[in-house]
């Protein structure tokens, strides 16, 4: 087992896991300083390409951005999302996961779903491909308005069963997205492997956010997104200063000229 994955597993019930997204080398270098897991999420579809669904994200998109991210990741565990329709069968899952690992040199892949894709997950793990699970709100297959999960007894039972299935198949961690607090707590307490929440309460073993959201680059209005800093004002300030100096012929001075 990957040493970095072992470190993540050891954090269960001991210290919180920090997981953040990165889609390029520059962002990855900063994320890597603080994160335990750097995730190249298919959220890049909406963040970078303005897609209205992660279904539009291609394998090429994921591989290209992951190659860039790999250049900036030194210490954290690097996980790459397998995009929509790249793991519909055992063969396609293995072929595409192998391609991702080979071309990006990432540490693991992440797949969305439980019982419906358990055979694919088992097949990947049997063939020595590390997998992170993802339950609750599944953006790749969600229809209509995104809604939280785990409200009813039935939903809660299904989520717990799926989580145990994933654990028994050999995944090393599970992302819990938009799951009601009591249900997320139950799932976390039921598992020996870590849970990483996004909109699923403090009871998870760790938390993940889209980095562009937390630094205020996006105008995201989702309940679980907290803006920790407003980067846009600094970007605006730099660009404003540049434009002013160009127009007033202050830049480039001799210092910045050959």
Which amino acids are annotated catalytic?
A: 177
Tell me the DSSP string of 176-232: EESB-HHHHHHHHHH-SS-EEEESS-TTSSEEEE-HHHHTTSS----TT------TH
Cα gap 129→115, rounded to integer Å: 19
Residues 6+ apart with CB under 8 A from 40: 21, 22, 23, 62, 65, 66, 69, 78, 79, 80, 81, 104, 106
Which tokens is 142 given?
A: 């969600």
Q: Note whether 246 and 58 are within 8 A (CB).
A: no
Separation of alpha carbons 258 and 134, rounded Å: 53
Residue 98 phi, psi (nearest 5): -60, -40
Whole-angstrom distance between the N-terminal and C-terminal Cα of the chain? 53
User: In the chain, which ranges are continuous DSSP H helix?
Assistant: 3-10, 25-31, 44-49, 59-72, 90-104, 118-126, 153-169, 181-190, 211-214, 232-247
Q: Compute the distance between CA of residue 166 and CA of residue 9 in angstroms, rounded to an integer.
A: 15
């Amino acid at each position: 087992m990957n040493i970095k994955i072992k470190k993540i597993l050891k954090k269960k019930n001991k210290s919180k896991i920090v997981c953040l997204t990165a889609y390029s080398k520059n962002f990855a270098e900063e994320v890597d300083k603080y994160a335990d897991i750097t995730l190249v999420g298919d959220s890049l579809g909406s963040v970078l390409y303005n897609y209205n669904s992660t279904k539009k994200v291609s394998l090429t998109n994921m591989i290209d951005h992951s190659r860039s991210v790999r250049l900036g990741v030194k210490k954290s565990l690097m996980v790459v999302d397998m995009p929509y329709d790249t793991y519909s069968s055992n063969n396609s899952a293995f072929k595409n996961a192998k391609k991702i690992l080979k071309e990006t040199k990432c540490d693991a892949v992440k797949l969305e779903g439980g019982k419906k894709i358990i055979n694919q997950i088992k097949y990947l793990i049997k063939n020595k491909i590390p997998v992170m699970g993802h339950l609750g709100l599944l953006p790749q297959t969600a229809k209509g308005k995104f809604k939280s999960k785990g409200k009813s007894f039935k939903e809660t039972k299904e989520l717990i069963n799926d989580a145990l299935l994933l654990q028994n198949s050999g995944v090393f961690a599970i992302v819990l997205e938009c799951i009601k607090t009591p249900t997320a707590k139950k799932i976390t307490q039921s598992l020996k492997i870590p849970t990483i929440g996004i909109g699923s309460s403090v009871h998870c073993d760790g938390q993940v956010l889209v980095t562009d959201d937390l630094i205020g680059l996006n105008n995201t209005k989702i309940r679980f997104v907290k803006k920790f800093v407003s980067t846009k004002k600094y970007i605006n300030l730099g660009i404003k200063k540049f434009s002013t100096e160009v127009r007033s012929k202050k830049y480039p001075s001799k210092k910045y000229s050959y």
